[in-house]
Structure 1
Amino acid sequence: MRGTTAQRPVLVVTRLDDATSDLVITELNRRDVPVVRLDPGDFPDTLTLNASLGDGGMTGEALTGTRAVDLIEVRSVYWRRPSPYIPAAGDGQDGRWCSEQARYGLGGVLASLPGAHYVNHPWRNRDAEYKPAQLATAVRCGLRVPPTLITNDPDEARRFAVEHRPVLYKPLWNSDYLGPDERALTVWVEDVEPDDLHAGVRRTAHLFQRRVDKSADIRLTAVGSDLFAVRIDGAPGVDWRRHYDALTYVPIETPPDVAAAARSYLDAFGLVYGAFDFGLGHDGQWWMYECNPNGQWAWFPRPLTTPITTALADQLQHPGERYEH
């Protein structure tokens, strides 16, 4: 028999160094909501799983180094930034086999907790991470998307760059990439000229997009029915993520048509949370670039993070209830 809702814990699936989760956990602790933090990357060294399945469904528990969580007692799951599964048997074939068994075993259990409310469900996150799917869904839901080309054809890439100049190159996925000194590198959004597009385009898929003639950037953070839009000014280049020290942030209202389209977008992917990036045109139009289903927000100043923290804590504490902030 399950405990009362007040006794049932919120499970936060993330790595230890996750400042975004820390804010939500602190708020849940302030409300006396039980919280268990769990990182699949700790499996199997300091994380033990016992899950049974039969006529009564799933039962069992997960044991961290300090806590135990009853699988059927979890009221909500905040799926944030878990560490990769670690090959317990080394880096060779045996290690890869073990890490895949962990992914499909532990990962499958954590994605199937009976009655739990997910923010977001990991499989919905996965579905919504593909930029071609994001942009196609955005257009279908009524959001404006700049002309975009995804190709490995150098001739078609040059034709697009000439027709839509100025054009940006954007990575389709932020893969881990190390330089010769083993330091992490980031592939940024960059301007691209037709003459830059040579035979190397043929080697993989590339995303090219017409650069928006913008007056500012906008980050729209959606939590359920709540939308928190922030105007971002001060970026000297096309990718504001490279210039945090120069940025200013002002909360703004979301136009009704954008709000309706953003909520339709979340519904299309089955998401509770999404972090949308827009360019604000000089004509006032909002142009969507992407929606990260697990995007960051903790770098904002506290007056901007507080309402987002509150909305997420409400979602996790009271599954299924709607809040307007």
Structure 2
Amino acid sequence: MKAMTKKILILTNERDVTADFIVKKLKNSETEFYRLNTDQLGKTLQLTFNISEGIHNLIDKATGESIDLRSFASVYFRRPEIRPNIEGLSRGEENFVRTELYYTIEGLYKILDNAFWLNKVQAIRNAENKIYQLLLAKKIGFKIPDSLITNQVDDALNFYRNQQQECIIKPIKTGLVTADGDDEAIIFTSKVEITEENAQRIKTCPVYLQKLIKKKGDVRVTVVGNKLFAALIHSQDFEQSKTDWRRADHPLPHSQIVLPHFIESMCLELTNELSLNFAAIDFILDENDDFIFLEINPNGQWAWIERRLGYDISGEITKLLIQNTYPNDNKVSFLLLAKERLNSIREFFWPLLERSAAKNKVKENIELKIADESLEIAFQQKIKILEAEEDRRKGIESKATLFISTLSVASSLVVTASTLILNNNFDSNRLLIKTSVAISFILALYTVTTIWYAVKALERGTYSVLSINDLNQIGNKNEYLRKLIQRFIRIKLDNQDIINSKVNNVTMAQEYYKRAIVIICIYAFFILLFCLFK
């Protein structure tokens, strides 16, 4: 067993793809780190806390490492989960094991209490209270919606009437509902209708009501230390996402925005009040361009914002972790950050394709848990999903074809222009010739790489489709629908890796396409100067 010391700890679970962004950045900076997937405790991971002797070790059976937990200087609390999977246990026994694991991990947090945290667990729990959030936001000076939390029927009815019956209802804690087994559902923010009859149910459970605000869009502000990244989500472009943008069944348009200075200041004041080094703050941008505070998520998602808008949120998180890992060693901190910055520069000029995850293994038999009365609804939804997947594939291939055709034409024009320069100025202006050749060479690299990835995106692969045999099934209506739904799911899973591969390749083609366009613009400017000063 190798005794190891690490500097940065990432607390998460095996399935957390957002943590992969930080892992990549830390690897680029060559910082010592360890990713602790808490769902592997009791499987590949083991803990030893010898209180008498002051030993606090983490043992990783998969890597053969024994890590002293006290060596960690910084901790990124991402998404730790507990998933005991021990056969032969009753539900009560499984809950006992889960609780023991939970409180063991709670002890681990206390052992690491002196480290820098992004964020401390207790700070996250304090900040997650939506009632406290509203009180604090109002105190700081944010505009907030008219809000009521009550289980008093008359108060709820009066509030509803005072808002001209334009109200939304939202969860006080989280909208996640877990049923028996692994089934989960989400309660979204929704417009609500309160009547004398249904209001009686309010007595049993407090409800969280707010005024329904007409808006231009939703704003997500990601705060990392003292750095803010603001994104406008164009939720009003589609009916489904007007009340809660998370309900959209397709990606919504996003855009970068600049926050008013006073909103930035209040965001930082809010995170400071809550002792948070990271947070995701949600606003409504109303029809008067006012920012209306909704809530703050002390451990919110951010990777999709980075992907969509190019914000370097992962870089800022990595920078914050490194700086607080080596607070008194400016040289080490500088070198590590410099390596990460150099890799960012390399990525800017020559991006690399991320290594693909392992391919999905499709089960032979897919068990359906759909009730008979819901089969037709599920069937229609599966048809829509398959249609959307097909549209997605066609869109990817159309984009790849566009990249190939436009760059082919552009490259031909560049070659023609270069030939003219060579024919007319070879003896008189060698610097001009060298510059032209250099730009043409760079353009050729970007063009060839773009076309390479675009062609790979166009590769057909083994693509599953619905066949005549799939439709020609024996059985009553419900049996028929179940067989078709199972086939739809299989098709979706069979094609998932192919679609993801196409997405990856067309994304890379798009990255190099953008760089090729920039080079073409530079070359056009170069030609203009040549013509003006010839």
Regarding TM over 0.5, the answer is: yes
Structure (1/2) with the larger helix percentage: 2
- Per the TM alignment, residue 92 of structure 1 is displaced from its structure 2 partner at its CA by 4.2
Distance change (3 Å), C-alpha of 1:46 and 1:113: same
Distance change (3 Å), C-alpha of 1:75 and 1:178: closer
Matches of residues 1-325 of structure 1 in structure 2 within 5 Å?
A: 8-53=6-51, 59-64=55-60, 65-66=62-63, 67-84=65-82, 86=84, 90-113=89-112, 115-165=114-164, 166-178=166-178, 183-195=183-195, 197-233=198-234, 234-236=237-239, 237-243=242-248, 245-300=250-305, 302=307, 304=309, 306-319=311-324
Which has more radius of gyration? 2
Deviates more, 1:209-218 or 1:45-54: 45-54
Matched residue type, 2:125: R
CA-atom RMSD in angstroms = 2.7
Distance change (3 Å), C-alpha of 1:199 and 1:217: same
Take 2:73 and 2:16, find their aligned partners in 1: how far apart are those partners?
Answer: 21
Take 2:99 and 2:179, find their aligned partners in 1: how far apart are those partners?
Answer: 27
- Return the TM-score normalized by structure 2: 0.55
Take 1:84 and 1:300, find their aligned partners in 2: how far apart are those partners?
Answer: 27
Once superposed, which parts of structure 1, at least 4 consecutive aligned residues long, lie more than 6 Å away?
A: 179-182
Higher relative contact order (CA 8 A, sep 6+): 1
Take 2:178 and 2:92, find their aligned partners in 1: how far apart are those partners?
Answer: 23
CA contact under 8 A between 2:220 and 2:282: conserved in structure 1? yes
Take 1:155 and 1:197, find their aligned partners in 2: how far apart are those partners?
Answer: 12
CA contact under 8 A between 2:306 and 2:313: conserved in structure 1? no
- Return the TM-score normalized by structure 1: 0.88
Take 1:295 and 1:53, find their aligned partners in 2: how far apart are those partners?
Answer: 34
Take 1:259 and 1:62, find their aligned partners in 2: how far apart are those partners?
Answer: 40
- Per the TM alignment, residue 218 of structure 1 is displaced from its structure 2 partner at its CA by 0.2
CA contact under 8 A between 1:87 and 1:99: conserved in structure 2? no
Distance change (3 Å), C-alpha of 1:53 and 1:26: same
Take 1:15 and 1:32, find their aligned partners in 2: how far apart are those partners?
Answer: 22
Take 1:246 and 1:11, find their aligned partners in 2: how far apart are those partners?
Answer: 32
Matched residue type, 1:281: D
CA contact under 8 A between 2:82 and 2:102: conserved in structure 1? no
CA displacement, residues 66-119 of structure 1 (integer Å, 9 cap, x when unaligned): 243211111211111111353869344444334323322332223431541111
Take 1:85 and 1:178, find their aligned partners in 2: how far apart are those partners?
Answer: 14
CA displacement, residues 200-242 of structure 1 (integer Å, 9 cap, x when unaligned): 1112121000112211110000001001111111343210011
- Per the TM alignment, residue 183 of structure 1 is displaced from its structure 2 partner at its CA by 4.1
Take 2:153 and 2:85, find their aligned partners in 1: how far apart are those partners?
Answer: 39
CA contact under 8 A between 1:146 and 1:209: conserved in structure 2? yes
CA displacement, residues 232-284 of structure 1 (integer Å, 9 cap, x when unaligned): 11343210011162511111112121111111111111111110110001112
Q: Structure 1: 5+ residue runs without aligned partners? A: 1-6
Q: What is the aligned length?
A: 316
Distance change (3 Å), C-alpha of 1:140 and 1:108: farther
CA displacement, residues 17-49 of structure 1 (integer Å, 9 cap, x when unaligned): 112111111111111112211122322232211
* SS at structure 2 position matched to 1:185: strand
